[in-house]
Amino acid sequence: MNIKSTHLKLKYKNLEKLAKDDLKISHLMKAESDRLENFVLREGPLRADFSKQLVSQKTLKSLKEFAAACNLEEWRAKLFAGEKINDSENRAVLHMALRDIGGSDSVKENVRSMRKRMEKFANNIRAEGKFNSIVHIGIGGSDLGPRLVADAFRATADIKFDLRFAENIDGASINDALDGLNPKKTLIIVVSKSFTTQETHMNAEAAFKWLESELGVNAGKHLVAVTANRQGAIDFKVPEEQIFDFWDWVGGRYSVWSSVGLSLQIAFGPSLFGEFLKGASKMDLHFRDQPLHENLPVMMAIIGIWNRNFLNYSSLAVIPYSRNIRKLPAFLQQLEMESNGKQINREGVYTGITCPIIWGDQGTNGQHAFFQWLHQGTPGAPVDFIAVLKDSSGRPEHHAALLANCFAQSEALMLGKSKEQVLQEIGDGFKSDIIAQQKTFPGNRPSTTITLDNLTPYSLGHLIALYEHKVFVQGVIWNINSFDQWGVELGKVLASNILQEMQTGTEGKHDASTSKLIELFVNSMKNS
C-alpha cells in the first residue's frame, strides 16, 4: 500500500511485525477461551465464523484500528450520503438506493417509479399466458447476478417460464438458449447499459432474426430492453413501453437489484424479487449503523486484507456447499476482481498489492479436483465455505453428508496431520518414512465458514450485499476506486479493430504473433 500518513505507517508496520509471529490456529482456539465470541458475527439468517482464520485477538484489534485509521467511517458516510465517490467518472454509487437505502428524493422517485413499472409489466406477462419462455441476453453484471438468483430458486420457487440465458459471443451460447423454443411463445430480454456491448448486441441481433423469421413485423413485440440508451433500444425496434431504465450510478456488477432483474420478476414473481431486495437492505442497514468492531462486512474485509497484504496469499477460494448457489464464485469473481483488481490509487500513484484472485466451485466437486492443492500445495489459499443449514432438496441424508464434508474440510485445513500421526496409522513397512512425509498435512490453513439458516430470497440478498460491502471496505483501505473498470476497455477496442480487419481483409499493425493468428483465421475462412 502507498501510505503517506506517519500515523498509518506505524499501524501498518505493527501489523507487519504481528504477521511474523509463529501462530497456530488450533492453538489460538484452545488459548483464547472467548475466541468464538469475538470471531463469530451474526446478522439475521447469516452467521459468519472467522475463528479458523490465522488471526489472534491482538491482531484483530490492530486490524480494526488500522481500518479506522484509513478513514473508513468517513468513506462509509460518503457512500450512504450519495457523494460522488466514483471520482474518476464523477458519479455517485447508489446501488443501495435500489433497495430503498439512501439516495436523493429524485433518485428515490425514479427507483419507485421504475419498480412499479417492472411489477406491473411482470404481473401482466405472468397473467396473460402469451409466453412460456424467456431468454435473458446480457454479459458480465447483466448476466451473472440474474443467473445466480435464477439458479438459486429454480428448484424450489414457483417458476412459470422456461428461463434461459445467453451471454457469450460464441454462437453456441445463443444457439443453446434458443434451442427447442417457439418464437411465438418466447420473450427476449436484452440487458445492456450502453446497448452497444458487442457480445450482447450480436446475440440480440441473432435472437431478433430468429423471431422475425416466424413473426415478421411483429417480432419487436417480443423484445424488451433494459438499458441507459433508450434511443439505441428504439432503433433496435424495441417498443418504447418495453424499455426499462438503467442509471449511470449503478455499476453492472451491482445491478441485479435494478431492472436488470426484470427476467427474475417475470419468471418468479415480483414478491420473490421484493424479498431479495429486503434481504440486501437489511445488510445495508447493518453495515451503515453498526460500529466497525461489530460490523460483518468490515470483519470480512480486514481479514481479507490480513491474508492478502500481510500473509501474502494471492488468491481466495469460495466454495458454496449448495448446488443452488454454485454460480456464486463466478459472480464474486466479477464483483471483487473488476472492482478492486487495480494497482493505481485515487491519487494516480502505484498502490501495491490489492485484490486476490477469486476462484472456486461447488462442494463436494472441488474436493475431488483442487482440494489436494488447498491441503498440501504451495502456498494454498484461504477459503470461504458457504453452507445452508436447512435442506431444500427433500433428501435429508444427502444434505447431512454434504454439510459433514463442509465442516470437516475447514477442520482438516486448520488441524492438518503430523508425520508422527501418519506413522502411528501406517506402522513400519515399505518406504514408511517417505510415505509418511507424503501423507503429512501442514494444516494451519485459514478459512471462514458462512452459514445461512436456509436459502431464501431474503438470505441470498443478505449474502450478496455482505460481499458488496466487503469490496467497498477493502477499496477504502487500499485507497482505490472500486467503482470504475478501465481495465475492461483496452481489449474491447483492440477486438473491434481486429474484427474489422478480419472482415475486410485489411492488414493492421500488430505484433508478429497476433498478425499470424489473424492470418490463420482468414485462411481458414477461405478454405471452408
Put the strands of the sheet holding 315-321 in their side by side order: 40-43, 46-49, 447-452, 383-388, 315-321, 357-359
At 1 the pLDDT is: 78
- Told to judge if 214 belongs to the known catalytic residues of this protein, a careful annotator would answer no
Q: From the candidates 13, 27, 492, 516, which is the catalytic residue?
A: 492
Q: What is the CA radius of gyration of the chain?
A: 25
- Told to judge if 368 belongs to the known catalytic residues of this protein, a careful annotator would answer yes
417-421: long-range contacts (C-beta < 8 A, 24 or more apart)? 417/441, 417/443
At 241 the pLDDT is: 97
- Told to judge if 492 belongs to the known catalytic residues of this protein, a careful annotator would answer yes
Please say whether the beta carbons of 63 and 309 come within 8 A.
no
What residues does each domain of the chain span? 6-69+290-415+445-484, 100-276, 487-526
Q: What is the CATH number of domain 6-69+290-415+445-484?
A: 3.40.50.10490
The residue written with cell numbers 490480513 in the block is 306
Tens of pLDDT, residue by residue, the chain (528 residues): 777 788 899 999 999 999 999 999 999 999 999 999 999 999 999 999 999 999 999 999 999 999 999 999 999 999 999 999 999 999 999 999 999 999 999 999 999 999 999 999 999 999 999 999 999 999 999 999 999 999 999 878 888 899 999 999 999 999 999 999 999 999 999 999 999 899 999 999 999 999 999 999 999 999 999 999 999 999 999 999 999 999 989 999 999 999 999 999 999 999 999 999 999 999 999 999 999 999 999 999 999 999 999 999 999 999 999 999 999 999 999 999 999 999 999 999 999 999 999 999 999 999 999 999 999 999 999 999 999 999 999 999 999 999 999 999 999 999 999 999 999 998 888 889 999 999 999 999 999 999 999 999 999 999 999 999 999 999 999 999 999 999 988 888 899 999 999 988 888 999 999 999 999 998 998 887
At 295 the pLDDT is: 98
Please say whether the beta carbons of 391 and 454 come within 8 A.
no
Q: From the candidates 4, 20, 30, 368, which is the catalytic residue?
A: 368
3-state SS of the chain: helix, strand, coil percent to 5? 60, 10, 30
Q: Kind and range of the H or E element at 444?
A: none
Strand bridging mode 243-245 / 162-166: unpaired
Which residue, 464, 462, 48, is CA-closest to 279?
A: 462
At 398 the pLDDT is: 98
Q: From the candidates 167, 199, 338, 468, which is the catalytic residue?
A: 338
Please determine whether the domains at 6-69+290-415+445-484 and 100-276 fall in the same fold group of CATH. yes
Please say whether the beta carbons of 372 and 508 come within 8 A.
no
At 52 the pLDDT is: 98
At 489 the pLDDT is: 83
At 172 the pLDDT is: 98
At 493 the pLDDT is: 87
Burial class (CB in 10 A: 0-12, 13-18, 19+), 71: middle
Residues 467-478 as b or e (16 or more Cβ within 10 Å = b): bbbbbbbbbbbb
> CATH assignment of 100-276, given 3.30.420.10, 3.20.20.120, 2.40.110.10, 3.40.50.10490?
3.40.50.10490
Q: How many CA atoms lie within 13 A of 181 on its CB side?
A: 25
Please say whether the beta carbons of 182 and 133 come within 8 A.
yes
Q: Reduced to 3 states, what is the DSSP secondary structure of residue 515?
A: helix
Beta-carbon contacts of residue 87 (< 8 Å; ≥ 6 apart)? 346, 481
CA atoms of 199 and 496, how far apart (whole Å): 11
At 293 the pLDDT is: 93
